[in-house]
Structure 1
Amino acid sequence: MELKDRLKQARKARKMSQVRLAEATGLDQTTISNLETGKVSSTSRIVQLAHALQVSPRWLATGDGSMDDNVADLKPRYGQQPDELEMLNTEVIEGNEPLRPDEVMLPVFREVEFAAGDGCTQVIENHGAQERFSLPRLIRAGVQPQNAALAVAKGDSMMPVINDGATLGIDKGSRGIQDGKIFALDHGGMLRVKRLYRMPLGRMRVVSDNADEYPEEVYAMADPDAPKVIGRVFWVENFL
């Protein structure tokens, strides 16, 4: 089922009209109708819709689990979308805790050494690794769950914004360069995190926040040796 089907199913199960659901979520009835017909395929109000309908936000957003997964345990998590990054100090969740209805599992980008064992690496998504992540946090950032992934930063090139070992949230659906925004890059099999700037003639600047130790780099985007953009970094969890 797609979002349009799950939304319609949930609304009918709760015996709510589109008008009543719109009033409960702050959306207008036309938007609800467009979501249910598929004219609009996504919304940043998934959590509000799920709470109004008393269904699992994870099920409504992704189809995972069931409509009524732990609905009684749901608590709304609202907030404003940050200008650039949502910064968070350490938030520890035990790995053996059951997945909550307002969480999703995300793949993890990592460097993996080639089988030849010559020290060369490649950046691989998932490779068996997944971590839990807050669905409301994704929605606040405007990131679709299917476009989201995680990675771990290495080194001090982006300090003080991003510490060595910080966990990063990456939006794979946002790969177009936005001047000054932070992106995750695959550079010849190395996972790098940098600010990017567009330049004339199809070039880009690759800039570290720790500019004293890491001078900026310039690449022609069509150059095969240039970094490949994985996605924009929308969230950082620094471990202090």
Structure 2
Amino acid sequence: MELKDRLKQARKHRKMSQARLSEATGLDQTTISNLETGKVLSTSKLVQIAHTLQVDAHWLATGKGEMIREFQIEERRLPYGDMNHEMELHDTEIVEGREPLTADEVELPCFYEVEFAAGDGRTQVVENHGHTMRFPLSKLAKRGVSPDQAACATATGNSMEPTIADGSPIAIDKGTRHIIDGKIYALDHGGMLRIKRLYKLPLGRVRLVSDNADEYPEETYSLMGPDSPKIIGRVFWWEVFD
């Protein structure tokens, strides 16, 4: 079942028209219609839609889990004796562990380097489906990242300092592999997991730029060459250490 099918199922279960859902979420009704027909594949208001329809945001985004689950809603009374209540939506931070996922969490696989079985020192970058990190669906939705196209990794070395510190976890959008000048990308470069800013050049070449330019000079490669880096995806989030 795709997002379009889950959205339509949830809306009908809630007995809510597209017009009413549009009014409740602030989305244009045409966008909702396009989501339900598959013309639009994602929206930054996916979590808000899930809360409006009273379904699990993780299920709506990925199809995993149950459509309906209990929601813990924190209510606070408004001042001056107003009896109305407001729903407070709290942001969720990345956590690791085996506690059940909340309605606003998804588990993302992690990239890492492994050595080839031959033992000759060569490595390859793989996606480890055994180790995962939890990430808020709301953060993915705000950036237009589909959960099934997101993954995590750990930056190593100081080439991107002070922006990304050694050991900082990062989040990668595998759905964005085209180069946007100046954005940070995760690369599989000859079996090494590298994090660099990319800039397009004529004739199918690309510049790899480190923020720590004093220690790591700029590199230039042909995207079609034998030693060219393979773009895993754009880095859209990283943790900042002080």
The alignment's TM-score, normalised by the length of structure 1, stands at 0.89
Q: Deviations over 1:81-130 (max 9, x none)?
A: xxxxxxxxxx5635122111111111110000111222211000125222
The one-letter amino acid paired with 1:113 is E
Tell me the distance in 2 between the aligned counterparts of 1:18 and 1:146: 26
Per the alignment, residue 79 of structure 2 pairs with none
Per the alignment, residue 233 of structure 1 pairs with 235
Residues 1-240 of structure 1 aligned to structure 2 (within 5 Å): 1-72=1-72, 76=89, 93-240=95-242
Tell me the distance in 2 between the aligned counterparts of 1:39 and 1:94: 35
The one-letter amino acid paired with 2:11 is R
- In the TM superposition, residue 58 of structure 1 has moved relative to its aligned partner by 0.7
The one-letter amino acid paired with 1:226 is S
Tell me the distance in 1 between the aligned counterparts of 2:230 and 2:10: 41
The alignment's TM-score, normalised by the length of structure 2, stands at 0.89
Per the alignment, residue 80 of structure 2 pairs with none
Tell me the distance in 2 between the aligned counterparts of 1:43 and 1:166: 28
User: CA distance change for structure 1 residues 92 and 8 in 2, over 3 Å: closer, same or farther?
Assistant: closer
Tell me the distance in 2 between the aligned counterparts of 1:39 and 1:202: 31
The one-letter amino acid paired with 1:152 is T
Q: Which has the larger Rg? A: 2
Tell me the distance in 2 between the aligned counterparts of 1:168 and 1:200: 30
* Uncovered stretches (5+) of structure 2, i.e. residues with no partner: 75-87
Task: Assess if the C-alpha contact under 8 Å between 2:204 and 2:224 holds in 1.
Answer: yes
Task: Assess if the C-alpha contact under 8 Å between 2:96 and 2:133 holds in 1.
Answer: no
SS of 1:186's partner is strand
Deviates more, 1:31-40 or 1:62-71: 31-40
- In the TM superposition, residue 73 of structure 1 has moved relative to its aligned partner by 5.2
The one-letter amino acid paired with 1:76 is L
Task: State the structure with bigger RCO (CA 8 A, min sep 6), 1 or 2.
Answer: 1
SS of 1:125's partner is strand
The one-letter amino acid paired with 2:89 is P
- In the TM superposition, residue 4 of structure 1 has moved relative to its aligned partner by 1.5
The one-letter amino acid paired with 2:37 is T
The 4+ residue runs of structure 1 with deviation greater than 4 A are none
Task: Assess if the C-alpha contact under 8 Å between 1:175 and 1:231 holds in 2.
Answer: yes
SS of 1:128's partner is strand
The one-letter amino acid paired with 1:67 is M
The one-letter amino acid paired with 1:143 is V
SS of 1:23's partner is helix
Per the alignment, residue 86 of structure 1 pairs with none
Deviates more, 1:139-148 or 1:154-163: 139-148
Tell me the distance in 1 between the aligned counterparts of 2:192 and 2:54: 44
Aligned length: 228
* Uncovered stretches (5+) of structure 1, i.e. residues with no partner: 79-90
Task: Assess if the C-alpha contact under 8 Å between 1:77 and 1:136 holds in 2.
Answer: no
Tell me the distance in 1 between the aligned counterparts of 2:63 and 2:172: 21
Aligned-residue CA RMSD (Å): 1.7
Task: Assess if the C-alpha contact under 8 Å between 1:165 and 1:239 holds in 2.
Answer: no
Per the alignment, residue 85 of structure 2 pairs with none
Tell me the distance in 1 between the aligned counterparts of 2:176 and 2:225: 21
What fraction of aligned residue pairs are identical, expressed as a percent?
A: 67
